[in-house]
Chain A
Amino acid sequence: MIQPVMTLDTYGLLCPVPIMKTASAIREIAVGEVLEVLADDPQILEDMPAWCASNGHALLDTIEEGEEYRLFVKKVK
Chain B
Amino acid sequence: MSKPVKAVGLLSGGLDSTIAAAMLMRQGIEIQGLTFYTGFCVVEHNRRSKTRKRKKPVRNEALQAGAKLDLPVEMIDISGPDYLKVLTDPKYGYGKTVNPCIDCRIFMFRRARQYMDEIGAQFMFTGEVLGQRPMSQRRQPMNVIDRDAELDGLLLRPLSAKRLPPTVPEQEGWVDREQLGDIQGRSRQKQMEMAEEYGIEDYPSPAGGCCYLTDENFGRRILDFFEYEGKENLTMDDVMLLKIGRHFRVKPDVKVVMGREEGENKFLERYTPGRWRLETKDVTGPTTLVEGHPSDDDLRQIAGMTVRYAGSKADPDTPVACHYEDTERILEPSPVEESVLEAWRI
Contact = CB atoms under 8 A, between A and B. Distances in A.
B284 interface: no
Interface in B16-69: 33, 37, 44, 47-48, 52-53, 57-60, 63-64, 66-67, 69
Interface stretch (B71-79, B162-170, B225-233, B335-343): B71-79
A54 B63 contact: yes
A20 B61 CA distance: 15
A49 B57 CA distance: 13
A68 interface: no
B44 A16 contact: yes
Contacts of A14: 44, 47-48
Interface string A19-45: 110010000000000000000011101
A45 B77 CA distance: 21
A50 interface: yes
Given A54-B33, A54-B72, A55-B73, A15 B66 contact: no
Nearest to B64: A50
A46 interface: yes
B60 A23 contact: no
Which DSSP category, helix, strand, loop or mixed, fits chain A's interface?
helix
A46 B53 contact: no
A19 to B, nearest CB: 6
A5 to B, nearest CB: 22
Given A15-B47, A20-B37, A51-B63, A43 B71 contact: no
B37 A54 contact: no
Contact of B47 (A43, A51, A54): A43
B70 interface: yes
Contact of A16 (B37, B53, B66): B37
Contacts of A60: none
Nearest to B44: A16
Chain B interface helix/strand/loop/mixed: mixed
B75 A15 contact: no
Contacts of B69: 54
A4 interface: no
A19 B63 contact: yes
A50 B70 CA distance: 10
B52 A42 contact: yes
Interface in A32-77: 41-43, 45-47, 49-51, 53-56
Contacts of A50: 59-60, 63-64, 66-67
Contacts of A56: 72
A42 B52 CA distance: 8
B57 A43 contact: yes
A42 B57 contact: yes
A31 to B, nearest CB: 15
Contacts of B57: 42-43, 45-46
24 contacts: A14-B47, A14-B48, A15-B44, A16-B75, A17-B37, A20-B37, A23-B74, A42-B57, A43-B47, A43-B60, A46-B57, A46-B58, A47-B60, A47-B63, A49-B67, A50-B59, A50-B66, A51-B63, A51-B73, A53-B70, A54-B33, A54-B71, A55-B72, A56-B72
Interface of B: 33, 37, 44, 47-48, 52-53, 57-60, 63-64, 66-67, 69-77
Q: Nearest 4 A-B pairs (CB), nearest first? A: A54-B66, A53-B67, A50-B63, A50-B67
Interface of A: 14-17, 19-20, 23, 41-43, 45-47, 49-51, 53-56
